Amino acid sequence: MKKSTITCDMEGVILTMNDGAEQIFGYKKEELIGKKRVSIFSPGEIVLQNVAGWLDEAVKNGEYVGKTYFINKNKQKINAKIRITPTFSNGKDNPQTGYCGVTEVINEDVNVPISFATKMIKGLAITRMPFTSASLLPVFAVGAYFAGIGDNLFNITNFILCILGVLIAHLAINVFNDYFDVKDGTDEANAEYFQQVSGGSRAIELGLITLNGTLKLAIWLTLIATLIGVFLVLRVDSSLITPIIYTTLAGLFLGYFYTAPPLRLVAKRGLGELSIFLAFGPLLTIGTGLAIFAGNFADFVENEHFSNCLLLGIPMGLLTTNILLINEFPDMKSDKTTGKNHLVVTFGKKNSRWLYLIFLLLAFLSSYYLYTKFSDVLILVPTLICLGYGLYLFSTIMKKYESRELINANWGTIGLQAIYSIVLCIILLF
């Protein structure tokens, strides 16, 4: 049998493949070139555990040679010897542009042991747990606010339950969003996303979980979060129960129908971004305040805890919205083809740069208002971080919005929301 020779770019998107690749893997060139990543051939756990190391060795030593197994189009196992080398389209003196993989089928039965750590990472990848900082940090900020005031204004047990409930609810929404993005063809059409940043978890594409398995997991996570919520509600003052339920249901509604039909808010030209702002901003901070407050609803409103929780949520919600916005840039082309008409599809990448700046300035101004309301000069620290680092990221977006180098600003925007929230938590606490 002929050898398979496949080249890909730095993100793994297939650029070329020879006739031997068609024979070995069972795919036609037109099915894969420019449309799929080389990960389509490997079991997901092998990709998570081994591929990054193989690529690093190929770059350091000029090649990686080893044995693994692949899965062809008919889901049959292919035992193989592989050789991976870095590629330089513009010459070796210029930056690397991709990789070349040569596969040779062998008769040996190859097994790749999967470590416990990889199985744990698999769970993190399926649920996109690292991104739950967007929901947990606002919860911590509200806890820090009450702890900083003192006078035993919040219930620690309820605070812990709130953290668990929000965490699991966020995971459920992540999994639901992945399910609907695969089902409506959005992920299938997207070959330009930035790995780990945009384009969803890709857990189904990698074979880490099936489509039906994704739906079942999302339902189970929702049930667990609901049970925690019910237990939490039974522990608060009766006057707080109704506003907690309304706030929680509003947040879950927006999170679920962000991608779920029939509403599919992400396709409604701005309603998706508004939903994320509300769900990860004011609704989350108000809901957390209601859930952990050691008092009744009248006291919560009269002592300005309601308005203060609302104000805490605005800058964090806006910074989270900018995470969503900048992650829409690499997904724009495929999202447009599947009717995912978010703001970047609506206005285009070039004009959407200014939307990023608008959201950033609104976050800065709302944080500055927070400083004037709380009369705490230290709140100027995260406020100035928001403005300074945010403008630096905006300058990168202005130049790199059409380039894959934009990924630095994607990660930076995630970091900005986290840094701002953590510094704010520390200041509120002390």
Domain CATH number, residue 28: 3.30.450.20
Distance CA 189, CA 379 (A): 44
Distance CA 149, CA 230 (A): 28
In a domain, 110, yes or no: no
In a domain, 281, yes or no: yes
Residues 76 and 136 in one domain: no
In a domain, 365, yes or no: yes
Domain endpoint, select from 43, 76, 105: 105
In a domain, 116, yes or no: no
CATH number at residue 307: 1.10.600
Q: Which domain holds residue 44?
A: 4-105
Residues 101 and 127 in one domain: no
Residues 84 and 136 in one domain: no
What does R_g of the chain's alpha carbons equal in angstroms?
24
Distance CA 152, CA 136 (A): 22
Looking at residue 203, its pLDDT comes to 86
Computed over every residue of the chain, the mean pLDDT equals: 93
CA atoms in the 13 A half-sphere facing the CB of 274: 8
Residues 283 and 400 in one domain: yes
The phi, psi pair for 395, rounded to 5°, reads: -65, -35
Residues 135 and 233 in one domain: yes
Residues 167 and 100 in one domain: no
In a domain, 376, yes or no: yes
> Is pLDDT of 244 > 90?
yes
Domain endpoint, select from 105, 131, 161: 105
Residues 235 and 90 in one domain: no
Residues 6+ apart with CB under 8 A from 92: none
Rounded mean pLDDT, 338-347: 94
What is the count of structural domains for the chain? 2
The H or E element containing residue 364 is helix 343-374
Looking at residue 334, its pLDDT comes to 84
Q: What are the percentages of helix, strand and coil residues in the chain, rounded to 5?
A: 65, 10, 25
Provide the H-helix boundaries in 211-304: 211-233, 238-256, 271-279, 282-292, 297-302
> In which band, very low, low, confident or very high, does the pLDDT at 230 lie, cut at 50, 70 and 90?
very high
Nearest of 40, 184, 165, 31 to residue 101 by alpha carbon:
40
In a domain, 114, yes or no: no
Tokens linked to 94 = 């210029």
> Is pLDDT of 5 > 90?
yes
Looking at residue 50, its pLDDT comes to 95
Residues 97 and 153 in one domain: no
Residues 241 and 339 in one domain: yes
Residues 79 and 182 in one domain: no
Residues 42 and 184 in one domain: no
In a domain, 113, yes or no: no
Buried b (16+ CB within 10 A) or exposed e, 67-94: ebbbbeeeeeebbbbbbbbbbeeeeeee
Could you read off the pLDDT of 45-72 as tens digits, one per residue?
A: 999 999 999 999 999 999 999 999 999 9
What pTM was computed for the model? 0.90
Tokens linked to 192 = 């330009």
Buried b (16+ CB within 10 A) or exposed e, 318-341: bbbbbbbbbbbbbbbebbbebebb
Residues 303 and 211 in one domain: yes
> Is pLDDT of 191 > 70?
no
